[in-house]
A and B are shown apart, each in its own frame.
Chain A
Amino acid sequence: MKASFDKIDNVIEFTGSWGIASKCGLKRSSYNGKDVILVTELYKDNPGTPITQVTASLAMQVCEKLNIDPKNLIYIEHSPDMNSKLSFYDEVFYNVSFEIVDGKFINPSWKILAADEIEMYLK
Chain B
Amino acid sequence: MKFRLIYPRWEKLEGQTTFNLPPHGPVVFAASLPDYVDVKFTDENVEPVSFDEEADFIGISMMLSTQVKRGWEIADTFRKKGKKVLFGGISTMLHAEETMLHADAVFLGEAEGRMEEVFSDFNNNSLKKLYNYMYRFPDIASIGPARRDILNNKLYNHKGVQMVDLFHASRGCKFSCYPCAVTYLGGRGFRPRPVEKAIEELETIENNRLFIVDNSLAQSTKWEMELFEAMIPLKKKWISHTIEDDPKVLDLAAKAGAWYVYQAVFDTSDYIKERIKRYHDFGIGVEGTVLLGLDNQTEDDIRHLIDFLLEIDLDLAEFTVLTPFPKTKVYDDLIRQGRIFDYDWNHYNAGKVVYQPKNMSPERLQELYNYAWESFYRDEPQSQKMFKLFSKVMLREMNDNTFRPRQRELTDYSFGKKISRTL
Contacts and interface: CB of A to CB of B under 8 A. Distances in A.
Interface stretch (A26-34, A63-71, A80-88, A114-122): A80-88
Nearest to A47: B134
Q: How large is the interface on A (under 10, 10 to 19, 20 to 34, 35 or more residues)?
A: 20 to 34
Contact of A50 (B129, B132, B332): B332
B96 interface: yes
B417 interface: no
Between B176, B184, B327, the greatest number of chain A beta carbons within 10 A of the residue's beta carbon is seen for B176
Grouping DSSP codes into helix (H, G, I), strand (E, B) and loop, the A interface class, with mixed when no group exceeds half, is: mixed
Given A50-B327, A94-B336, A82 B132 contact: no
B136 to A, nearest CB: 8
A51 to B, nearest CB: 8
Nearest to A77: B336
Contact of B183 (A16, A44, A79, A109): A44
A50 B330 CA distance: 12
A9 to B, nearest CB: 22
A20 B184 CA distance: 15
A18 B184 contact: no
Nearest to A92: B333
A77 B332 CA distance: 11
Contact of B188 (A1, A88, A94): A1
Contact of B326 (A53, A88, A89): A53
Given A43-B184, A49-B97, A21 B132 contact: yes
B336 A48 contact: no
Given A52-B332, A110-B336, A89 B188 contact: no
A45 B189 CA distance: 11
B130 interface: yes
Interface centre among B130, B132, B183 (most CB of A within 10 A): B132
Interface string B123-155: 000000110101100000000000000000000
A47 B101 CA distance: 20
A35 interface: no
A19 interface: yes
B100 interface: yes
A18 B184 CA distance: 18
B423 to A, nearest CB: 53
Contacts of B338: 109-110
Nearest to B326: A53
Given A18-B100, A19-B130, A88 B329 contact: yes
Nearest to A49: B97
A110 to B, nearest CB: 4
Given A18-B100, A41-B332, A43-B176, 18 more contacts: A1-B188, A17-B96, A17-B97, A19-B130, A44-B135, A47-B134, A49-B97, A50-B331, A52-B331, A53-B327, A77-B336, A86-B178, A88-B329, A88-B330, A88-B333, A89-B178, A89-B329, A94-B336
